Structure 1
Amino acid sequence: MKLKLFLVCLLSTVGSAFAQAPAAVNSGSVSGKIIDKTTKEPIGYASVSVKDAGKVVTGAISQENGNFNIPNLELKAYTLEVQFIGYKPYSKAIVLSATDKTLNLGMIAIEAEATQLEGVNIVAERSNIVQKIDRKVVNVGKDLIASGTTASDIMNNVPTVSIDPQTKELSLRGNSNVRVLIDGKPSNVDAAQLLQQIPSSSIKQIELITSPSAKYNPEGMSGIINIILHKNASAGFNGSINTGVTFGITPKTNSALNLNYKVGKVNFYSNYGFNHGINANHGFVNSANPGLENLQNFEFRNLNNSHLLKLGMDYYINEKNTLSFYTNQNITHMDGYGKTTVDYFGLGNNDNFQSYNNENENKTQTYDLAFKHDFTKKGENIEFQANFSKTKNTEDTRYNNNSNASDGTLFSDSKSQNIVDGVTDYTQINIDYVNPLSESLKLELGAETRIQTTKNNFIATEAGNEYATPYNYTKDSDYNFTFNRNINAVYSNFSKQWNSKWSSQIGLRVEYYDISGDFARTESKFQSNLVPQSSNVDLKDRVTDDIFTVYPSAFINYTVNEKNSFNFNYSRRVDRPSIGQISPIREWTTPLMESRGNPSLEPQFTNSFEVNYTRNTKLGSITTGVFYRRISDEISRVVYNDPNDPSNNRKILSFDNFNNNNAYGVEASANLKFTKWWAANASADAYFKTVKGAVQNVNTGVLENAQVDVTSFNTRLNNTFTATKDLRFQLFGMYRGRDMSLQFERKEMYKADVGLTYNVFKGKGTITARYNDIFKNMRFAFDGEIPYRQYGAFYWESQTFYIGFNYMFGGGKNKALQRKQRDANETQSGGMF
């Protein structure tokens, strides 16, 4: 009953967070503020229900600051109940009469059910999902933390999100055009790399924002994934330490240390995360290219080390003004080894063998300064924020290439080296203003400037003997790419609460966007044992564009009753080509394939429509939704022959714009509690889309447009079994259905995990264990017919055992700093990383 009441109020009246309608003439209202009995901190999103003779009449949820207001009540006696997960229920008899229509209960202190360490973040045992007006919020519990050592590992266990096991590419609702934010802010680090740097134990929430409002940056067709990290602002000294080891083919370690010290008006905080380990995987591709039939075998092994450090300070100048500063320092180093063998079936072709050793290093520095002023009017505030980051990326890869004739003799032997240096500077400046015009109206205004500059230099050197001729050669290529992007925007949001049933928000964002890109290439070839001579080829390309665009958004929330609520929303989005999609510098290469960008790419625009329905039952809440996307100038993959390869065997993988496209889907998720000892989170989704692109006709060599209709189905089920107060077990299962691209069909994959958590040291410590992919079913398998028959599979360390330990220390009473997180569009407490 407790869980039911909480979910009823939480999901059916979420719109009341904006404002409350004034009471009718012949009705009353009750209000108050929910706080923690021990820490005196406000509790947001607690369920408040009003009962008449034991039956729920209506309810609300507390706002972030703990306040609640329930209007339009008949003048009579009621019972008011307050419930929140992890706290004991609170009950109080109240009476509304003609002489006392408006009842303010003041501070309502609720008590935690279990002993908690004061001032330190408490991680729930079980993850749960909350549907809000414009997003789904996944509150990360110990079950998700134990599913992997990094953010990348646990994302596959989040509904509607998936991570490609080979490329680590992130997708939302079956589409990889998704924007990733950390605490509401962008990062220069590639999303795939960034998610592997963040320790899973540092994550508090994952927000899935599939239809963002005008306040958000409009990039990302599928929407935004915002990862919120743990924070704290407790008096005195406190913190936590998390450490764990994953045992697979090779062991991997993951640790995080969180420290916080608050004294007087100043709060200092820091976080350090460390990841170390070897990732090993292998695979094969069997290709039936006519006349060039072959079997390719791949082996990869990478040693990764990453350090993530955050240092920050909050200065409470007075009750109205707050100044905050923090810096992030990320260092990632990878040493890799790989080999590719191409074995041709026919006698007329030479087998190829390529091995490589590479060293990659990525360094990112981020500096953030924010100032917030609260006006005298309650809820009115203005915030200024400036963010600057610099990323340096270096790569040094050395290749050995051998080609053997059909009789096994060496046909050619060459060595090559690729050196890549890249620097990206990113500056973002925001000013945001919020003004509650009345109890039922709120206005938000803001402006934003983003400036990005990227410089890449790529040097390729190749040396060896060519076609077994008696001379050696050296070939040098020097590529330089400079990219500048400037975006200036203003936005406004206007929200309205009509009554206890209807709430809405409309918004408009206006942006001016301009880019410029310069690409220069110089190639030279030197012949050493003939008459020395050289030839130089100089090529230059320039890309420019400027666009003025309007992005509207609209949200409507309708609460039928305490059991049923609907949400309707619309937003316009844009997918601007990334630097990797534009840059003509190669991203990766194998003997038969190379990936590079297309400087001529145009942005793609998407109109997104979405409807969600929430139903509260005796077991819990169930949310279902449907969405439709209309996509213009869609960016998609193209495959064509390398024009510099006379054999027409080597392919180029790139990008291009195509005609308009449609995508739609359905999804459902549920938080259910069957008994006191058994609870579950379940989700399922199905996506329908048309994939467009261009492939080269294997017979004619002509680049032809192609398309394929795709239906994809996915489902997840996470069970939690409570054995004792301190011991819990988890059983997780997932199924990812077949998917289609232009070239191949990706086969289905599925897995099952088991785990447990055990509390020690009177709840201050937790031991976590998890066995992932117990039946070893996970692999990336594919089968295709375009442009010719090919099939294969890739395997990685999916079957692993994780053991981890978490310990919280320190004390002090919490005094939260209320500060808007940019792009999170919600108030978060400042402090620990």
Structure 2
Amino acid sequence: MRQSLRFFLSLTLLFTCLSSFAKIDDPTVDQAKEKVKISGTVIEKTTKQPLEYATVTITDTKSSKPIAGGITNAKGVFSIEVAKGIYNIKIEFISFKSIQFNQRNIEKNTDLGTIALAEDVAQLNEVVVRAEKSTVEIKLDKKVYNVGQDMIVKGGTVSDVLENVPSVTVDVEGNVSLRGNENVRIFIDGRPSNALNMADALRQIPADAIDKVEVITNPSARYDAEGGAGILNIILKKGKNLGFNGSFITSVGIPETYGLSANLNYKTEKLNFFTSTGYDYRTSEGSGKTNSTYFDSSDAISKYIDETRNTERLRKGISSKTGIEWTVAPNTFWTNSVSYRDNRGSNNDIVYFNSFDANRNFTSTRSRLSEGDDNGRDLEFASNFLKNFNNEGHKLTMDFSYATNTDNENSLITDEILNSTTAPKYDITKNNEEQNQLQLQLDYVLPLKEGSQFEAGYKGNFNNLDSKYNITSNSSENSYLSNTLEYKEQINAFYAQYGFKANKFSYLFGLRWEDTKIDVNLLDTNDFNTKKYNNLFPSAFINYEISDESSISLSYSKRLSRPRGRFLNPATNYSSNINLFRGNPDLNPSFTDKFDLGYLKKWEKLTLNTSIYFENTKSVFSFVRFPTGDIVEEMIDNTDDDIDNPTLTETPVILSTPINLGREQKIGFEFTLNYSPFKIWKINSSFNLSSAKTTGENTYKDIDGNDVTQSLDNEAFSWFSRLSSRLTLPAKVDWQLTGMYFSPRNTAQGKSLGNYVVNMAFSKDILKDKATIAFNVSDLFNSRKMMSETDLTSVTSYNEFQWRRRQFNLSFTYRLNMKKTDKDKNMPKNNGDGGGEGGGEFPG
């Protein structure tokens, strides 16, 4: 928070100086003189890092009136035009000792060189002004969501955090979308995350461990080309301030939830030890239903089946990131960290199938109970080396990481017809996965002449995944549903980009080349498939600065989406034996051309960011449902009926799976508003609407073995909106209310229905602002349900699913040796551990 305070006070001082300058009696005298430039670079004396927002004041030696002034940029550089003359020049930065150059005779362009400011400890201890960073920061190339200011997510998980991020949506199953597109790449501390199950992984990281989330909708060439929708960079908290400090957070909730986490660090001038460690115990209750109508070959109704589902999930485990940063030299930093997550739990589902004949007369009830347990471990070692050659942004960054992940799931499924003499059926499923990943990265940034910059780098990503899925039915293995998957991925990438500024225009042009080799092998069936491809990925960004408060930008990038996780793994979700889900190991990558036209405008109390975007995707992923050709036979033998005349029923098995379609073209409009009508009230809102046209078809075999071709051509219009209000009530109680609405959307085989969710929270600082107590309610009206309708030739259905019901959470935060306004003053700004790939800045 201190950075925001400094920025505010710096602006205040600058405006005061300029105001005084405007009141000089006869400014035309000075304006007639020849202009010269006074420049320099301001750094922090201890860490040698540039100081952004340092204030430079130039005063007349005779009248002592300010005649000019300025603020340093992100590199600590300032350049101010003045008329020739003799001046006093003062350099100031909040909580630092100021430096003044008196009686300087400025007759030509003058460079004051590097100016090192020392921390003023006495002044720092007197700063008590409460200044908080905006929850959402809008920048030209990305949006930054500061988690620490959001009460809604206290005691929650990363999934809860992402639900409140502009442009991002999370469905009830935890799948993340950016601008309505699920092909989004998730980064953790600037490095791609290849969790075995991303939705589950995001539920395992506590929200209290997150510092901020960066939303990059149109990444430049320095980033991975993967992620057709863009990139979400989740940055974890790290140690920041000198000495020993940190925070402790404990939480409790309903349904039964407990959490305890600590974010601690000890920092000296040379070393910084940091850890973010937490324990989480979380239960989640959900429900769902699927009402299906089946048709025979003459299109007449043959029967009805109504499914009702209740779920209860338990997760418990520990998550930790611990590391040390060594200041090898004033301009050289080496950071090493170890991340570890151990999570285990249980998943219990009970599904009831109520069957009816063609006249809607009840025939039987079947239950399917799935009792499962799972455990997973993730271990990662990461090393980052940063060498700053000077204070102008000339630097070299090297990254290395190695991660290993294991995930084991087992379940016992009991299937029986109630009130029947028919013996129950038992299925045992086992899913064991192990993944090892090595990443290497090298980035070099070279500033050239004023306002221009060159960047280049290499990245290698080597990933091996082994997955064995086995289903045993009444002691015999189901070979149709069982499989062993071996996935090997090798990606080598090189990139270069050049940015420069000309007058009010800024340009950034880049090119990335990626060479990919992927082996997808199904060992049980000896099905071996190798995919090799290499591609060029250009990017271009142009920005025009209309004024200090407004700008317009145009960008283009080429992206790809590689199939991963549940899209690729042929392991079958077997909780229902008539409605199956299975990944498709034969998926090919999809390629997207992205265009974005943006406008940014800032007023005193309002910030507006709008964007019109167009995306053209080839071989887009799409989920389809179709009969597999298999049937489930059931001999209904109710005890109330004549047991000598049992009834045999046959139900077709419907499979849902992803495929590559021909093309998708999407055009959309988006805006984000940050409005603060009063000091005590902040409003953040976002709105996104899009129209997508898809073309393609799918061919499958029906129950008789005939080829059936489905046309999947579709045009869909959808929109979603988010509104968040934060208000300080009497007694300094903060109240936050957030609402989201997701509109209906047509699909190729039906439609998704609209839904909404409302979250609410209260918080209060106590113990002289050393602690905060917060209470929040997630899904206040219990309305967050995924609802859809499917229309196939053989079956139509209505589906409704709620991953978790309304939740209540109470949390307590205690800050140790740190104020609520403390911010990362002493952390190197260009440290690659969490700043995203490359670390270069958009010129200008």
8 Å CA contact retained: 2:135, 2:150: no
Q: 1:504 aligns with which of 494, 503, 507?
A: 507
Distance 1:116 1:803 in 2: 32
Which residue of structure 2 aligns with residue 689 of structure 1?
Answer: 692
Counterpart secondary structure, 1:157? coil
Measured after TM superposition, the shift of residue 94 of structure 1 is 12
1:239 partnered with 2:239: no
Q: 1:324 aligns with which of 335, 345, 353?
A: 335
1:356 partnered with 2:381: no
8 Å CA contact retained: 1:691, 1:741: no
Paired letter, 2:170? I
Q: Cα distance 1:45–1:460, how it changes in 2: closer, same or farther (>3 A)?
A: farther
Distance 1:154 1:136 in 2: 14
Distance 2:578 2:151 in 1: 39
Measured after TM superposition, the shift of residue 148 of structure 1 is 5.6
Which residue of structure 2 aligns with residue 340 of structure 1?
Answer: 351
Q: 1:158 aligns with which of 162, 165, 173?
A: 165
Q: Cα distance 1:549–1:172, how it changes in 2: closer, same or farther (>3 A)?
A: same
8 Å CA contact retained: 2:88, 2:102: yes
Which residue of structure 1 aligns with residue 179 of structure 2?
Answer: 173
Counterpart secondary structure, 1:231? coil
Counterpart secondary structure, 1:226? strand
Measured after TM superposition, the shift of residue 36 of structure 1 is 9.2
1:574 partnered with 2:586: no
Measured after TM superposition, the shift of residue 515 of structure 1 is 1.1
Which residue of structure 2 aligns with residue 437 of structure 1?
Answer: 448
Distance 1:773 1:581 in 2: 28
Show CA shifts across 1:782-809 (max 9, x none).
3343454322423354433322111111
Distance 2:553 2:57 in 1: 21
Distance 1:108 1:417 in 2: 67
Distance 1:304 1:127 in 2: 33
Distance 2:286 2:58 in 1: 57
Distance 2:161 2:502 in 1: 40
Q: 2:488 aligns with which of 484, 489, 497?
A: 484
Q: 1:183 aligns with which of 172, 184, 189?
A: 189
Q: Cα distance 1:386–1:157, how it changes in 2: closer, same or farther (>3 A)?
A: same
Which residue of structure 1 aligns with residue 432 of structure 2?
Answer: 421
Which residue of structure 2 aligns with residue 634 of structure 1?
Answer: 620
Matches within 5 A, 1:548-559: 548-559=534-545
Q: Cα distance 1:571–1:112, how it changes in 2: closer, same or farther (>3 A)?
A: farther
Show CA shifts across 1:362-386 (max 9, x none).
1111011222333358432222221
Q: 2:231 aligns with which of 224, 229, 236?
A: 224
8 Å CA contact retained: 1:131, 1:623: yes
Q: 1:384 aligns with which of 398, 402, 426?
A: 398
Distance 1:446 1:479 in 2: 39
Which residue of structure 2 aligns with residue 270 of structure 1?
Answer: 275
8 Å CA contact retained: 1:368, 1:385: yes
Counterpart secondary structure, 1:338? strand
Paired letter, 1:690? K
Show CA shifts across 1:509-541 (max 9, x none).
1111111121122xxxxxxxxxxxxxxxxx321
Which residue of structure 2 aligns with residue 666 of structure 1?
Answer: 669
Q: Cα distance 1:244–1:294, how it changes in 2: closer, same or farther (>3 A)?
A: same
Q: Cα distance 1:514–1:760, how it changes in 2: closer, same or farther (>3 A)?
A: same
Show CA shifts across 1:476-515 (max 9, x none).
675221111101111111111223x221111111111111
Q: 1:307 aligns with which of 306, 315, 318?
A: 318
Measured after TM superposition, the shift of residue 661 of structure 1 is 1.7
Q: Cα distance 1:415–1:560, how it changes in 2: closer, same or farther (>3 A)?
A: same
RMSD after superposition: 4.1
1:253 partnered with 2:258: yes
Distance 1:688 1:504 in 2: 30
Q: Cα distance 1:55–1:633, how it changes in 2: closer, same or farther (>3 A)?
A: farther
Which residue of structure 2 aligns with residue 533 of structure 1?
Answer: none
Paired letter, 1:156? E
Distance 1:355 1:552 in 2: 51
8 Å CA contact retained: 2:384, 2:833: no
Which residue of structure 2 aligns with residue 824 of structure 1?
Answer: 836
8 Å CA contact retained: 2:786, 2:802: yes
Which residue of structure 2 aligns with residue 470 of structure 1?
Answer: none
Measured after TM superposition, the shift of residue 55 of structure 1 is 14
Counterpart secondary structure, 1:650? strand
Measured after TM superposition, the shift of residue 733 of structure 1 is 2.3
Distance 1:38 1:266 in 2: 13
Distance 1:83 1:141 in 2: 28
Measured after TM superposition, the shift of residue 589 of structure 1 is 4.1
Distance 1:621 1:56 in 2: 30
Which residue of structure 2 aligns with residue 530 of structure 1?
Answer: none
Q: What residue ranges of structure 1 are gaps of 5+ in the alignment?
A: 11-24, 465-472, 522-538, 829-833
Which residue of structure 1 aligns with residue 765 of structure 2?
Answer: 759
Which residue of structure 1 aligns with residue 778 of structure 2?
Answer: 772
1:611 partnered with 2:597: yes
Counterpart secondary structure, 1:674? strand
Which residue of structure 2 aligns with residue 395 of structure 1?
Answer: 409
Distance 1:561 1:80 in 2: 27
Which residue of structure 2 aligns with residue 535 of structure 1?
Answer: none
8 Å CA contact retained: 2:718, 2:743: yes
Q: What residue ranges of structure 2 are gaps of 5+ in the alignment?
A: 13-32, 60-64, 296-301, 633-649
Distance 1:722 1:418 in 2: 52
Measured after TM superposition, the shift of residue 623 of structure 1 is 0.7
* Range with greater deviation from structure 2 (569-578 or 741-750): 741-750
Measured after TM superposition, the shift of residue 184 of structure 1 is 0.5
Distance 1:759 1:114 in 2: 24
Measured after TM superposition, the shift of residue 29 of structure 1 is 4.2
Which residue of structure 2 aligns with residue 808 of structure 1?
Answer: 815
Which residue of structure 1 aligns with residue 682 of structure 2?
Answer: 679
8 Å CA contact retained: 2:455, 2:498: yes
Show CA shifts across 1:273-302 (max 9, x none).
222121011121111222132111011101
Which residue of structure 1 aligns with residue 138 of structure 2?
Answer: 131
8 Å CA contact retained: 1:8, 1:562: no
Q: Cα distance 1:205–1:579, how it changes in 2: closer, same or farther (>3 A)?
A: closer
Aligned length: 773
Distance 1:619 1:684 in 2: 19
Counterpart secondary structure, 1:600? coil
Distance 1:411 1:117 in 2: 79
Distance 2:736 2:318 in 1: 30
Q: 1:785 aligns with which of 791, 801, 804?
A: 791
Counterpart secondary structure, 1:317? strand
* Range with greater deviation from structure 2 (717-726 or 680-689): 717-726
Distance 1:74 1:698 in 2: 85
Measured after TM superposition, the shift of residue 353 of structure 1 is 1.8
Distance 1:81 1:778 in 2: 57
Distance 1:411 1:329 in 2: 48
- TM-score if structure 2 supplies the norm length? 0.82
Q: Cα distance 1:821–1:39, how it changes in 2: closer, same or farther (>3 A)?
A: closer
Q: Cα distance 1:251–1:7, how it changes in 2: closer, same or farther (>3 A)?
A: farther
Q: Equivalent pairs: percent with the same residue?
A: 24
Q: Cα distance 1:770–1:113, how it changes in 2: closer, same or farther (>3 A)?
A: farther
Which residue of structure 1 aligns with residue 289 of structure 2?
Answer: 284
* Range with greater deviation from structure 2 (311-320 or 542-551): 311-320
Q: Cα distance 1:749–1:612, how it changes in 2: closer, same or farther (>3 A)?
A: same
Paired letter, 1:496? F
Distance 2:67 2:725 in 1: 29
8 Å CA contact retained: 1:123, 1:142: no
Q: Cα distance 1:714–1:108, how it changes in 2: closer, same or farther (>3 A)?
A: farther
- TM-score if structure 1 supplies the norm length? 0.83
Paired letter, 2:801? F
